[in-house]
């Protein structure tokens, strides 16, 4: 093997691939050959760097030079100047990587400085399609340690001691789940991975699978050893083609090397893994629905108990964890439970990955130690709100979570704290909203989603969420009554109490939390028929401002003749007749007509 | 039109491929979902005729197969259009205005969300998060991805396909 002096790391995550990183990769290979550098410089396609906003991203080591928004046209320059002549191309660097004349390496950039990478430690570092690179970063060492040196109970105890909690949203202690499945009796046992990340606005699991698929495969084998299973399933969304492909490649390589298969590390332990594709049903992220789906049925939840730990896939004891939960396992085995507990807070140890999106400067993937405040994530890492707009709310937990306001910015991010505030951790979506977002509309958006995705098995969820959506539509259309707020709250409490699975039990949360924190917006929609943010179209009025020059162009185009005024005088719209078609707005030569 | 579209995909060649998949999945536990995925890929849809064959060959009641096919949004009863236009309505895209974008496309191609144009050219879909939230709002046409779409870009993007 020859040594190279420079590595060019190109992001191959979904975000950067969508903005053209594949052609950038090809161009780099071409340019490097052209300058005769192909023996000295190596181009590596990695997983997600996290800062999707700045994509496509290229990082050159050993300097750690962080190029952002890279275009195909820039590559010849980067190759010639940086790789050939050794001068970093300053004007192509990520803006925050340049302070005056000083170049900061990627790790010193504000976005990464406050992060703590445990789950994402290999993402954006190794090539996920080469197992040797994973092994070079201690890959499959934890599996080796477990099968040769530890008993099943010792493994479970280590996970229990670490205090790791399920990263899929509920926060159930992982070690306890492992203990239940170890103790369960069955002819066969299964290990399953929930990679059906359907939560809109969340892409943590996808990034882990794209950037470091072996970390999940290895952890599942460890789990298989710990609970006594010889077969595993990864249930992944078919909507994630890149993640599925990398997982398939990784699995094939692991089988070829013998770290998955029969007699792993020459022991009696054998473990086989199979990928199963989801087919676009959000409810399949619920554990019992996922099991139904693997078995080949409609993904409808089963009543619990019996829990999957006792009767799961094909009625056998099944251990089901989320992708991010598994991605923590190898680190805990290698570094010990004590080390893991030293990160985060006492009741929520470790880190959490969040997908930061919405009205925020640095959209992307961040991993933070638990206990960090919302303010630190949104302002220090996320870089605040773009275009000088005011922060209004942050939505966590997706359709199951809630909206928090500026009052909560200094609250710590932990499982229990977020629930106390009326939201939840969820799988890790974090969407920032600004003054242009209407909270009633946001609540309606999530309800629309749950109504669409409700499987229809139990009545409270199937019928109740639909009634709630009707009430919200009524309010957004300007036909709301003040009693509707109480009706919504009443329905919400009943749906939460009586639904069969987590989907229904949490579906009213976005409505409850917006009513709690933004009641005034509901009231102004109902009583004043006004949408302050200007989102709910039915509540907007077309008005002519004093910019009007009296050209009469709008009166001619109005289909209902509701605009009056003579030449060179300001025109007026009769609001009772206006149908809000917007034709006048388009016609006005001086942009004097606005929707307000 | 959709009847002709369905007939056009029910070729002997496609059925041969399906038989192979069913054969390969024999003995596997929980074989229905992988088989349906394959059928959707082979035919571009899973109409009644295909369901019936799967039912007979796999010995699963037709009603059960119909139930599964209609439950999951990835399986369809009729083939999709030549160009599948999808606009992401995930949270990150929605708060950045993707609803307006989908409304605009509806107008341009005269197809309602969830439908296919009568000539089989366009299918318009509202998808939930495709995970490219960093590029919000996002739309895709076939395999091509368009990120940070502005309302004013829509007509230019669509013009290429009209």
Which residues neighbour A520 within 8 Å (Cβ) at sequence distance 6 or greater?
Answer: none
pLDDT at residue A138 greater than cutoff 80: yes
Give the SS3 label for residue A110.
helix
Q: 145-174 in A: which are within 8 Å (CB) of B?
A: none
Q: For A529-552, what is the mean pLDDT? A: 89
Q: Do B145 and A18 touch (CB under 8 A)?
A: yes
Q: Residues 215 to 254 of A: which have CB under 8 A from any B CB?
A: 238-240
Question: Tell me, what's the pLDDT at A264?
Answer: 96
Residue of A nearest to B71 (CA): A298
Residues of B in contact with A19 (CB under 8 A): 135, 145, 147
CA distance A146 to A142: 6
The 8-class DSSP code of residue A545 comes to -
Establish if A199 touches chain B: CB-CB under 8 angstroms.
yes
Best B87, B96, B99, B134 residue to mutate vs chain A (most A CBs within 10 Å): B134
**Percentage of residues of chain A with pLDDT beyond 90:** 76
Is the minimum CB–CB distance between B94 and chain A shorter than 8 Å? yes
The verdict on B132 touching A (C-beta cutoff 8 Å) is: yes
* Residues A340-371 pLDDT 10s: 999 999 999 999 999 999 999 998 899 999 99
Indicate whether A527 pLDDT > 60.
yes
ipTM over 0.95: no
pLDDT of A517 over the 70 cut: yes
- Give how far A35 is from chain B: nearest CA, Å: 32
Contact A445 B91 (CB under 8 A): yes
> What residue of B is the nearest CA neighbor of A69?
B135
State how far residue B95 is from chain A, nearest Cα, in angstroms: 6
Contact B33 A279 (CB under 8 A): yes
pLDDT at A103: 87
Residue A397: closest C-alpha in chain B: B91
| Helix, strand, coil shares, percent, chain B, to 5 | 50, 10, 40
Chain B within 8 Å of A18 (Cβ-Cβ)? yes
Under 8 Å CB-to-CB from A235, ≥6 apart: which residues? Answer: A192, A193, A194, A195, A196, A276, A277, A278, A284, A290, A293, A294
Residue at token pair 């960090």: A372
pTM (2 decimals)? Answer: 0.91
Q: Give me the residue from A14, A294, A449 closest to B132, CB to CB.
A: A14
**pLDDT, tens only, A247-297:** 999 999 999 999 999 999 999 999 999 999 999 899 999 999 999 999 999
Q: How far is B74 from chain A (nearest CA, A)?
A: 5
The answer to whether the CB atoms of B129 and A198 lie below 8 A apart is yes
Q: How far is A338 from chain B (nearest CA, A)?
A: 34
Say yes or no: B66 contacts chain A, CB-CB below 8 A.
no
- A201–B133 C-beta distance less than 8 A: yes
**Distance (Å, whole) CA A111 – CA A106:** 9
A203 lies within 8 A of chain B by CB? yes
Give yes or no for B44 touching A (CB within 8 A): no
Tell me the chain A residues in contact with residue B30 when contact means C-beta distances shorter than 8 Å. 276, 294-296, 313-314
**From edge to edge, which strands make up the β-sheet containing A65-67?**
A41-46, A6-11, A58-61, A65-67
pLDDT at A515: 96
Q: A180: part of which helix (H) or strand (E)?
A: helix A174-183
Q: Considering CB atoms only, which of B96, B134, B145 is closest to A53?
A: B134
Say which of A15, A280, A455 has its CB closest to residue B134: A15
- Backbone phi, psi, residue B114, to 5°: 90, 0
Q: List the single best residue of B63, B91, B98 to mutate versus A (max A Cβ within 10 A).
A: B91
- Per-residue pLDDT, A427: 82
d(CA A405, CA A513): 10
Rounded to an integer, what distance in angstroms lies between the CA atom of residue B127 and that of residue A201?
A: 12
C-beta atoms surrounding A252 within 10 Å:
12
Residue B87 per-residue DSSP state = E
Q: What's the pLDDT at A222?
A: 98
- Give, as one character, the DSSP assignment of residue A344: B
User: In B, which residues are within 8 Å of A198 by CB distance?
Assistant: 128-129
Mean pLDDT (chain A) is 93
- Residue B95 to residue A239, Cβ atoms within 8 A: no
Inter-chain touch A281–B134, beta carbons under 8 Å = no
What pLDDT sits at residue A129?
95
Question: What's the pLDDT tens digit per position in A113-126?
Answer: 999 999 999 998 99
Residue A61 predicted with pLDDT over 80: yes
Does pLDDT of A73 surpass 90? Answer: yes
Local confidence band at A481 (pLDDT 50, 70, 90 cut-offs) = very high
Give the whole-number percent of chain A exceeding pLDDT 70: 100
pLDDT in tens, A397-412: 888 899 999 999 999 9
Tell whether A475 lies on the interface with B, counting CB pairs under 8 A. no
- For the stretch A84-97, pLDDT in tens is 999 999 999 998 88
A56 cis-preceded (ω within 30 degrees of 0): yes
Question: What CA–CA distance (Å, rounded) separates B155 from B158?
Answer: 5
* Chain A / chain B CB contacts < 8 angstroms: 127
Distances (CA, A) of B122 to A355, B7, B111, B160: 32, 19, 8, 13
Q: What is the pLDDT of residue A2?
A: 67
Would an 8 Å CB–CB cutoff place B92 in contact with chain A? yes
pLDDT digits (tens, 9 = 90+) for A567-592: 888 999 988 888 888 888 888 999 89
CB A196 within 8 A of CB A290: yes
Q: What are phi and psi of A344, to 5 degrees?
A: 80, -155
Q: Please give the average per-residue pLDDT across A97-105, as a whole number.
A: 86
Beta bridge partners of A8: A43, A60
Answer yes or no: is pLDDT of A1 > 60: no
pLDDT value, residue B132:
80
B74 contacts chain A (CB < 8 A): yes
Sequential DSSP letters for A8-56:
EEEE-SHHHHHTTHHHHHHHHHHHHHHTT-TTTEEEEEES--S-GGG-S
Interface of A with B in 429-458 (CB under 8 A): 429, 431, 433, 437, 442, 445-446, 449, 455
In the DSSP assignment, the letter for residue A69 is S
Record: contact A55-B68, CB cut-off 8 A: no
Tell me: pLDDT of A324 over 80: yes
B32 and A CB contact within 8 Å = yes
Residues of A with CB below 8 A from B71's CB? 281, 298-299, 455
Query: For position A179, what pLDDT does the model report?
Result: 97
Nearest Cβ partner of A296 from B33, B129, B145? B33
Task: Report the chain B residue with the minimal C-alpha distance to residue A18.
Answer: B145
Q: Which domains are assigned to chain A?
A: 6-108 (3.40.30.10), 131-340 (3.40.50.11540), 351-434 (3.10.20.600), 439-526 (1.20.1440.230), 541-595 (3.30.70.20)
Q: Greatest CA span in chain A, whole angstroms?
A: 93
Residues of chain B below pLDDT 50: 1
Supply the pLDDT for residue A414.
95
Residues of A within 8 A of B46 (CB-CB) are none
pLDDT at B91: 86
Who among B73, B92, B131 is closest to A431 (CB)?
A: B92
Contact B91 A431 (CB under 8 A): yes
What pLDDT is attached to residue B2?
67
* Residue A187 at interface with chain B, using a CB cutoff of 8 Å: no
Residues A422-437 pLDDT 10s? 889 888 889 999 999 9
Nearest to B74 among A201, A280, A313 (CB): A280
Asked if the C-beta of A201 comes within 8 angstroms of chain B's C-beta atoms, the answer is yes
């Amino acid at each position: 093997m020859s040594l190279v002096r420079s590595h060019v790391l190109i992001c191959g995550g979904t975000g950067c691939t969508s903005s053209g990183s594949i052609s950038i990769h090809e161009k780099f290979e071409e340019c490097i050959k052209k300058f005769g550098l192909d023996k000295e410089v190596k181009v590596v396609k990695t997983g997600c760097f996290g800062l999707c906003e700045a994509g496509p991203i290229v990082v050159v080591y050993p300097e750690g030079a962080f190029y952002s928004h890279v275009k195909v046209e820039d590559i010849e320059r980067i190759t010639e100047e940086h790789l050939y002549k050794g001068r970093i191309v300053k004007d192509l660097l990520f803006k925050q990587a340049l302070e005056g004349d000083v170049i900061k390496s990627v790790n010193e950039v504000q976005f990464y400085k406050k992060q703590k990478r445990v789950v994402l430690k290999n993402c954006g570092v190794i090539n996920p399609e080469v197992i040797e690179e994973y092994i070079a970063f201690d890959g499959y060492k934890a599996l080796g340690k477990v099968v040769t040196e530890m008993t099943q109970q010792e493994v479970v105890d280590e996970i229990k001691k670490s205090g790791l909690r399920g990263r899929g949203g509920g926060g159930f202690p992982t070690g306890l789940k492992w203990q239940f499945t170890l103790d369960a009796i069955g002819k066969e046992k299964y290990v399953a991975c929930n990679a059906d990340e359907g939560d809109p606005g969340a892409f943590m699991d996808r990034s882990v699978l794209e950037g470091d698929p072996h970390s999940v495969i290895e952890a599942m084998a460890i789990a298989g050893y710990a609970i006594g299973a010889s077969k595993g399933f990864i249930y992944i969304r078919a909507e994630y083609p890149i993640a599925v492909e990398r997982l398939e490649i990784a699995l094939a390589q692991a089988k070829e090397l013998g770290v998955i298969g029969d007699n792993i590390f020459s022991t009696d332990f054998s473990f086989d893994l199979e990928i199963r594709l989801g087919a676009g049903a959000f409810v399949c992220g619920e554990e019992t629905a996922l099991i139904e789906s693997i078995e080949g049925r409609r993904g409808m939840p089963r009543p619990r108990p019996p829990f999957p730990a006792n009767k799961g896939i094909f009625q056998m004891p099944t251990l089901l964890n989320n992708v991010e939960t598994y991605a923590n396992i190898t680190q805990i085995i290698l570094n010990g439970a004590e080390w893991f507990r030293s990160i985060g807070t006492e009741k929520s140890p470790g880190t959490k990955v969040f997908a930061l999106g919405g009205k925020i400067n640095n959209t992307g993937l961040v991993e933070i130690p638990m206990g960090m405040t919302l303010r630190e994530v949104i302002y220090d890492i996320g870089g605040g709100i773009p275009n000088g707009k005011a922060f209004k709310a942050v939505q966590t937990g997706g359709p199951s979570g809630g909206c928090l306001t500026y009052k909560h910015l200094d609250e710590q991010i932990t499982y229990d704290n977020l629930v106390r505030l009326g939201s939840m951790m969820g799988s890790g979506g974090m969407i920032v909203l600004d003054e242009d977002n209407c909270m009633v509309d946001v609540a309606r958006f999530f309800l629309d989603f749950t109504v669409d995705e409700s499987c229809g098995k139990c009545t409270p969820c199937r019928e109740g969420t639909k009634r709630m959506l009707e009430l919200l539509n009524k309010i957004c259309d300007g036909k709301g009554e003040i009693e509707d707020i109480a009706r919504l709250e009443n329905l919400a409490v009943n749906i939460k109490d009586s639904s069969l699975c987590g989907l229904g039990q949490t579906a009213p949360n976005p409505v409850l939390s917006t009513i709690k924190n933004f009641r005034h917006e509901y009231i102004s929609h109902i009583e004043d028929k006004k949408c302050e943010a200007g989102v709910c179209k039915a509540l907007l009025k077309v008005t002519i401002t004093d910019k009007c020059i009296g050209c009469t162009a709008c009166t001619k185009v109005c289909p209902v003749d509701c605009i009056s005024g003579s030449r060179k005088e300001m025109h007026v719209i009769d609001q009772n007749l206006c149908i809000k078609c917007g034709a006048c707005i388009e016609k006005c030569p001086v942009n004097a007509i606005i929707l307000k | 039109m959709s009847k002709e579209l369905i007939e056009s995909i029910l070729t002997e060649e496609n059925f041969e491929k399906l038989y192979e998949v069913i054969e390969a999945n024999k003995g596997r536990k929980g074989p229905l979902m992988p088989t349906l995925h394959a059928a959707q890929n082979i035919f571009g849809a899973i109409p009644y005729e295909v369901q019936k064959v799967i039912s007979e060959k796999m010995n699963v009641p037709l009603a059960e197969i119909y139930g599964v096919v209609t439950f999951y949004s990835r399986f369809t009863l009729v083939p999709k259009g030549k160009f599948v236009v999808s606009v992401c309505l995930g949270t990150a895209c929605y708060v950045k205005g993707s609803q307006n974008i989908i409304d605009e496309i509806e107008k341009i191609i005269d197809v309602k969300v969830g439908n296919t144009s009568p000539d089989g050219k366009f299918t318009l879909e509202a998808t939930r998060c495709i995970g490219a939230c960093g590029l919000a709002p996002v739309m895709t046409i076939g395999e091509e991805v368009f990120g940070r779409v502005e309302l004013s870009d829509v007509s230019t993007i669509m013009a290429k396909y009209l």
